[in-house]
Structure 1
Amino acid sequence: MTAAPRRVELRIRRLELDSSEAGGVSRAALCAAVEAELSLLLGPAPAAPATPTPADSDVTVLARRIARAVHRELRVGEGAS
């Protein structure tokens, strides 16, 4: 028997960034990149981002940091170490 796919819905109402970190990053691009990074961390099969970004772009680096922080906090909430 296979397990049903897990659905995770996360709403981030507000994200405050230091202006030095944001560096002119597009809000829409950052949202898409964070979503893609979180799907890599949370899901068995990553979803392709709507708008691909280069692996070393400022958006991807920032999104990766945000996604890892969110993921870490979700795991703490589950009791994981």
Structure 2
Amino acid sequence: MAKVKGAVVVDTDRCKGCALCVSACPQGVIVLANRVNVHGYPYVEPAQIDKCTGCTSCAIVCPDACITVYRKKMEG
């Protein structure tokens, strides 16, 4: 059976730090960064990328469409 791994990409300049994606992620992959973007908002970033399953929950709840999730099938 092939496993699916995901990769989360955040457009940090568009993120306003609402953290809805942090709550929505069942694997705890996304966290609020301790930095701010060009607009002065704290933004989210993937922290535990090896745990991402590519479920896209984070991208679905993002009100500003700042998150893109890529999926890759892994043999194993």
TM-score where L is the length of structure 2: 0.27
The structure whose residues are more often helix, as a share, is 1
Structure with the bigger RCO (C-alpha within 8 Å, sep 6+) is 2
The structure whose residues are more often strand, as a share, is 2
